[in-house]
């Protein structure tokens, strides 16, 4: 595993209306489809093995439902045909899109990982629960690996045992669990009316390594030398805009000239954020080698139910450090100094942004 690229599909349309949706919390549910600047073939070529330096994990997710844009199946298929492993995060309801992906990617399904987000009450409300599990079964039968995860939300508490039994019946194991953040406050809180202790206790009933890991790292500032930006990056699939990690690090457009090398630099010890927002991706993949963490696959797979193909299981139980060299002490000092200055500038800019957002919210309330 040479690199991890977190890809965003800037779609703000969704066929579900979940109460805990992060996009809704941030008032970004604008009902817009993305306009892709390049064809699926060009996007995949921009992410070639030669350009990334080796076989990589490409994760694709939308601000709304990832699979709504008609271009996504072809993008997924073309990236797979480059030789990479691909994860797609979806609400699992768009049967036609799954059929398109499988038809286009039939020979590559053993390298395709589908993360199904189980939005239980919305699926029941829209009579889509059977559709969801039919699609899970369909992609598994096609040779894809699957993850079924659910956000622990207060609205699910009364159904918690039913959810566990249902997912176990349909997939062979209980779902993995995601902690739900309240992003309306700073610092973020767990979104629940329960005490944090009671919330964690409830989540642990699913025996979910994913939940345990995210709880452990929630609001925890990471201080180790981070290779995000060198071993990983954040990419807008519509525009080609790439940053080292969530708008931090080198900003470049990798679609403008696909013959030009992509620049990769580590952000080091100066991450400007209070904690790693996506620790279950970046930290589990080993962007901070000094941390002893489970692998990406160990957090998600249910080995007792064989959720993963042998190929995906082997690949996702690796760390990025297995295929990348560590920097010398002098090189680490250089990048620490460089991104120390950059982080200070960005921290000031973020504080100004949050103040303006707060004032705007107060103005609307009046």
pLDDT of residue 171: 98
Could you tell me the CA-to-CA distances from 280 to 41, 107, 167, 212, 309 in Å, in that order? 30, 29, 21, 10, 20
Give the chain's largest Cα–Cα span: 59
pLDDT higher than threshold 80 for residue 205 = yes
CA distance 221 to 66: 30
pLDDT of residue 25: 56
Residue 24, both tokens: 């809704």
Beta bridge partners of 182: 189
pLDDT per position as a tens digit, 20-42: 987 655 555 567 899 999 999 99
Of residues 335, 334, 339, 321, the one with CA closest to residue 4: 321
Mean local confidence (pLDDT), 318-324: 96
pTM of the full structure: 0.91
pLDDT of residue 352: 75
For the four alpha carbons of 61, 67, 73 and 77, in that order, the dihedral sign comes to positive
Delineate the domains of the chain, giving CATH numbers in brackets.
4-322 (3.20.20)
Identify the residue with better confidence: 297 or 63. 297
For the four alpha carbons of 108, 110, 113 and 118, in that order, the dihedral sign comes to positive
Identify the residue with better confidence: 150 or 341. 150
Identify the residue with better confidence: 342 or 118. 118
pLDDT per position as a tens digit, 153-194: 999 999 999 999 999 999 999 999 999 998 888 888 999 999
pLDDT per position as a tens digit, 184-202: 888 889 999 999 999 999 9
CA distance 336 to 164: 45
Mean local confidence (pLDDT), 220-227: 93
């Amino acid at each position: 595993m040479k690199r991890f690229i977190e890809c965003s599909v800037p779609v703000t349309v969704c066929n579900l209306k979940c109460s805990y949706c992060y996009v809704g919390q941030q008032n970004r549910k604008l009902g817009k489809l993305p306009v892709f600047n390049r064809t699926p073939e060009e996007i995949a070529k921009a992410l070639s093995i030669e350009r990334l330096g080796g076989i990589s994990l490409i994760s694709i997710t939308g601000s709304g439902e990832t699979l709504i844009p008609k271009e996504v199946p072809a993008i997924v298929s073309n990236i797979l045909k480059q030789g990479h492993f691909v994860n797609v995060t979806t609400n699992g309801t768009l049967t036609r899109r799954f059929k398109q992906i499988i038809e286009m990617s039939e020979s590559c399904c053993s390298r395709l990982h589908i993360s199904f987000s189980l939005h239980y009450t919305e699926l029941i409300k829209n009579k889509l629960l059977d559709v969801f599990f039919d699609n899970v079964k369909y992609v598994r039968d096609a040779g894809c690996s699957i993850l079924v995860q659910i956000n622990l939300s207060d609205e699910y508490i009364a159904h918690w045992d039913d959810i566990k039994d249902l997912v176990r019946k349909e997939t062979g194991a209980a779902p993995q669990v995601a902690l739900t953040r309240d992003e309306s406050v700073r610092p973020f809180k767990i979104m629940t009316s329960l005490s944090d202790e009671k919330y964690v206790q409830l989540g642990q009933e699913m025996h979910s390594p994913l939940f345990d890991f995210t709880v452990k790292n929630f609001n925890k500032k990471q201080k180790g030398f981070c290779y995000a930006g060198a071993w990983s990056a954040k990419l807008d699939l519509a525009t080609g805009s790439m940053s080292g990690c969530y708008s931090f690090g080198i900003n470049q457009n990798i679609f403008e000239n696909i013959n030009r090398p992509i620049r990769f630099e580590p952000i080091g010890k100066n991450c400007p954020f209070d904690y790693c927002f996506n620790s279950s991706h970046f930290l589990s993949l080993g962007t901070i080698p000094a941390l002893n963490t489970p692998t990406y696959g160990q957090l998600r797979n249910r080995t007792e139910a064989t959720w993963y193909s042998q190929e995906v299981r082997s690949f996702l139980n690796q760390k990025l450090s297995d295929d990348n060299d560590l920097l010398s002490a002098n090189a680490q000092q250089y990048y620490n100094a460089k991104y120390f200055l950059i982080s200070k500038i960005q921290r000031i800019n973020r504080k100004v942004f949050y103040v303006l957002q707060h004032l705007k919210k107060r103005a609307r309330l009046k």
